[in-house]
Chain A
Amino acid sequence: MAKLVEIRDLKVEATTDSGRRVEIIKGVSIDIAEGEIVALIGESGSGKTTIALTLLGYARPGCRIAGGRVSLAGRDMVTLSEKQRAKVRGTEVAYVPQSAAAAFNPAATIMDQVIEVTRIHGLMTPEEARSRAVDLFRALSLPEPETIGSRYPHQVSGGQLQRLSAAMALIGNPKLVIFDEPTTALDVTTQIEVLRAFKSVMKQGGIGGVYVSHDLAVVAQIADRIVVLKGGEIQEAGTTDDILTSAKHPYTRELLAAFEPKPRQAFQAATAPAPLLKIDGLVAGYGQIQADGLPLVRAVENVSLKVEKGRNLGIIGESGCGKSTLARAIAGILPAAAGNIVFDGVKLDQSARQRSREQLREMQIVFQYADTALNPAKSVEDILARPLTFYHGMGAKARNARIDQLLDMVRLPRNLRHRQPGELSGGQKQRVNFARALAADPKLILCDEITSALDTVVAAAVIELLKELQRELGLSYVFISHDLSVVEAICDEIVVMYGGKKVEEITPAKVKAPQHPYSQLLFSSVPRLDPTWLDGLEQDPELVRAYCRR
């Protein structure tokens, strides 16, 4: 097969705000044959998007292609002038961004935006472009391909929008399409449909692709070859089968290992398990209170659950199922409209304002985005010191010693305490976020998607840390996630939520055989590290229609 792309010894430099130059891509060479899909995989900061963007001849502000060659169909994108590059973009090489929702203009119809490329490059008449777009919509198995183009971006779902952005990329008949984490923001049940559509359209057209992702299982379904990156260097490259079955590089193995959660030994309480948290008929929501005393939009409806001392409860469901609202209602951030919350034998008030300081201390909540959960203007030391002063009234000396202890507990170096959150990596921030909850000496920690913003390897490390701390401190967790493997790894019991209601409660041992149809659908949609998984997957179309908002 002829070579479509030849990247040779590519170097990209970034200039920091003190004027220092940092090499972020350190001599990378990649070949892509015509019609081949190559996946770039690695953690955030590994340079995978930066490399993908150089194929468009583009470097982000502050960055510069410092050396090497990126030839695409015989043209070197590095040396082309900006005008020549603009000609190539959209016709030879196209880009599908991570967040289609942010990439579409909300004020124009989808059709106008999809055929814009043909207008800019003068490829075909608008009529031709429209009929070609409809063909593409059909190929991408979008519903109502004839009329979907006349809608506005907010009138279609996230999965559909992501496929529409692929249509936008494909309309100029490119030889190479760059997918930049296109399914990362989607629910697993939606992801399947999008992946299928991408795969079939790429194979049919014989289009070459670069698929950027941090999710090895997703990549395994679509890519012919995988390139593993870390720190701007290629760690390992090979065919998908080779990488999955006989990975040589330790980092690749680490990535693979992160996929196989170590089974959790159930924590055996010495005494009979006593319920720590008991929730009965909880209703919470938003909007005006109606005549029946309940809010207009009920995000959580009549949920009851129980957490026992030293044991963990997982809550799983896709976005919008009310799992985060449930956590907020338990913590009292969003006062529940009805229902009882009994914590450690005492009935808690529904609003956090009415709860005593001691009650607040014993139940801590850790949020998903450590970026917004840590005050960017404060040092790690100040962030951890506040709960110590506030709850325990510690003096400066005791506080200092305790901060060191806490940093040790979450495996952070002690000298990190003077840094501000902006100077930490994602995993480090999440650890500080967690250490702040530990500082209160809680009995129960509500973890709201705490690993979702982290890379696979980092997330696995955080999960291990949680398990260890539980053994040492006898904590209980309520673990909220959309990621089944994470919940499986840490929880004794799993609650599946759908549309604000609890649909099933199961134990990890029985995950293989869920009873409720939605649980079955959800669990079967989690990608496996098996390249044939997607093609072999069969889901009841009836079920899919009932539960998926694709």
Chain B
Amino acid sequence: MFVLAISIAALAQTSLKGTVIDQATQIPVVGAKVTLANQNISTTTNSAGEYSLLYLDVLEEELIIEAEGYMSTIELLQLKPDQVNEMEAIELQQDIVTQAQDEILLNLTEEEMSDDEGRSQAQASSSSASTDVFNSTISFAWSTARYRNRGYESNVENYYIEGLNFNSQERGNFNYSAMGGLNDASRYKEVLNPIEATNFTFGGLGQSTNYLMGATRYAQGWKVGVAGTNRNYKARVNATYASGVMSNGWAVIAQLAYRFSPYIDNKGIIGEGIKYYSLGYFLSAEKVWDNARLKLITFGAPTERGQNAAVTQEVYDLTGSIYYNPYWGYQNGQVRNSRIVKSYDPTVIAAYEFKLDEDQKFKVAAGYHYSWYSNSALNFYNAPDPRPDYYRNLPSAMWDGQIANPYNETSGEQLFDDNGKHYPWGLFIGEDMKGNSLGSGFVGHDGNLVGPSINAEQYNNLVDLWKARDNKTTQIDWDNLYAANFANNHNDPMASARYTIERRHNDIQEANATFNYVNTKFDHLKMTLGVEGKFSQGIHYKTIDDLLGGNQWIDIDAFADRDIKELASNSGFTQADIANVRKNEIADDYNNVINTTKQHYGYDYHINMGNLKAWFQNEWSFNEVDLYYALALNYSTMQRTTDMLNGRAWYLTKVAEQTGADAWKYYGNTSYQLVKDREANGTLKAGTRYIGDAHHFLDPAFKLGVIYKVNGRNRLKLNAIAETQAPFARDAYISQRVHDRVIETIYTHDKAKSLKEFYAASEKTVSADLTYEFNYPIVRGRVTGFITQSWDGSELNGYYDDEARTFVNQAMTGIDKRYLGVEAAAAVKMGTYFTLTGALSFGNYYYTSDANSITSAENGMPMTQDQVTKELVFEVQDKVLLKGLKLSTGPQVNASLKLSFFHPKMWFADVTVSYHDWNFLSVAPSRRMQGLYTGVRTDGTAVNGWFGDQYSNAIQTIDNQAVRVSVDEKGNATYENAVLDGNGVPILKYPFSIMTMQENIAATNPLNRFLIDASVGKLLYLPNRQSLSINLSVTNLTNNTHFKTGGYQQARLPRSVRQGEKDYQNSVITANAWKYPSKYYYAWGINFFLSVTYKF
């Protein structure tokens, strides 16, 4: 408790002043928010922990003090009129539970990041320390379920460090691995809700977080800690020293944190086959003057960690474990993971804040960040697929060709019932062509009733191997991979290794600067002006990590070598660097031989990106109403350059030249001319840098908001934003590893003759939210409703296409999405020790349009042949039937109830029960192509193998070709006799419906949609301002191992060739819906994090 002391001053106004300090260390708490609840006035503490509030009404008041890393506290007081009400220091108690949860969240977010699935990042940890009831409640509790704020992609969340933006310009996301384990570096931050007024940036749709790393925020002393967990890493040690503000005005903090897990030779546990090493460092120095401060900050965390993979339900069932990881195997008796991420993000930041006078201040900051990020993967050439969970290795591969079509192809009559969702009870063929019974099938060792046409001995043999976790069957067989390479060395020492471990580098370097000016000179008005500039360079190339005993790797594209006969006869076109091969042809000099770990191969290109954003914001504040509006203009540019002239790009250029298409698209105008000139005079050289076209964008944004203060305890907020956003580089190029070709909407933008064309490539978004906030001594919380609509989004997908039989890239444009929802939370104080908090988010996030798509083969081969012109088609165009599908951005229905306990003797505990539902798996666009339903794509080419005969009684054959042009008078596709769903998409019959339907991955049993977390902590104060804190956090207390957090639908469709049919329609989509089933991620079962921290 504190004592209110009043000093009488000769002032004719009522004011309040005081300090906020850490209870344990007695050090001032910087940045604490101090609010007078009834008058709804707030401020934050300065570097000395001081605050002051002026021009107050004389009321009985509640003083609310909130600070990151501390328990919030409320003090009652009676303000006395016309004097300075001076209070004694308010002591805040550390919130060790949230601190521990922050660390778990950082770890979780880092683990989700991977090169291939950067979009999967969950709601970040940034909001955990937020003072907002909703955010602080859900950030940890819902992270296990991969909840995402309002259903947005992670790239709409804005991340800043000392005012500098650190979202990737390539992908839009934030790289948490840079701060891996550095819980002190990430402790202090400003977190602002979507759309609301901000003071360090313009903000946007998502939350805006600004990490504050100045050294003066940290209390003087040492802090050492150890932690143990059964998550991906097993232990952590860390040490921090902070000097506090010294007599010379400098403050310094340094932290070292080491997290680790060696390979553990144990199957079926969390982190199976994963090793983890991370050494983080954080160093910050701050100099304080009277009206200025300078911050110098650097941090980084060299990390090496293994990865795990999503697998099919069949694999989970066979192995009996949600922790099964196919990426590892035994080598020399030791565990080895084929997928190792190496990352290191050294960052340096300098920030200078200056107060011109009481009403004006500015901040300038500059930073440089280099991100080494690479992940390894097995690569193979002219050799069997080494993945243990490759579908041919599973028992279900034996079902191939044995699943009966449940419908009479002529009459459409259903021959037998739909039995079983995931396993086809009764769907196997039961009789031969003459109607003779094949028997009654058998119950396999996996528990499935398997048809009589399956070889029972072999089926069960395979099942047994999987169930026993046979090392050669369920894990990577390193011995065989080495043996293949050794054998290869004997047969042809100059040949390419059959297997290698390649390392895919996706580095990025960025330099950024910001200027921020705040003016409060005018009554009721706060003006903020900001300019942000950033230059980034994405650096992409491959190296060899391990030749696995092979002599060398020959740098050619395996798919091109396999698939394109014309390429096979002219090996130059298979090459990653055509210039090398032309040299080879002349000098027989094998420059495409890769035999060191330093050589770049496969691809070697940069994406240069820049942006300059200027914005201003006016915030008006009156007694009953606050108002703000802000405008931003963002210029951005991107350009691809490459040091390798890819053979497939060359080939496609030649094809384009022959057909009169725009051949320059594959290199960009300038480099196309360079290539042609050098080709003509024979001076094409390896190592030349080819510079593609630059693409420039200008995107405006406007937002406004109003707060109506009903009274001191109730307020209404209305916010709205409208903005355009240029595509991220990762979605802009159709096949950026190979050539410079961008998506069509960017070409439209580049040649724009109207405003509409100029913004053809930019995603347009409008969003609004309405919030009711309440704040009473017993209960506080808010309810928010929001709606967001976006148009013209773009997205790039890559997958193996079974019709083309090669890896393809699919660029989708014109994607419209809507996000509708309500979020609510309330915290109720229940007596002295307990608080009950409830949170709810109910959303409906879905596509509101179909998408346009262009699909092309990565290896440059033609996708099909135009049935009319007979021309080969290298890029097929079609619609993707997305309209009405749900967005796969985490669960859309979420609720939780949290009971917190706090005892003044510094015991903490809480238990949270959460419920999650409406979690939709992403649909593979390749399974929703319009051509699959009509037999013909929007570009007029025929689809070889489509769903037509599943819903229509007739397959039309025109001129001996099943090219059905089913369009109405307006040119829209029609589906003849099909029964359509609400979005006009034909409803397919079971089991074909499984192939295209969108799956809700929420557990079938409603009880399994609940997750329970708990934590308990104790803070012990020791003599001489020392303290010891212990915290145990247990996640998924009930060990619910049925909770899917995500996954994806495989792009491949099961097709087979109808032998002997001589028309074009010789490929059919088979009834074996289980051939390429979806892959899933599961939430970990019960896991814990135990930490002990000693401060002295």
Co-complex (A, B) = no
| Chain B interface (Cβ < 8 Å from any Cβ of A) | none
| Chain A interface (Cβ < 8 Å from any Cβ of B) | none
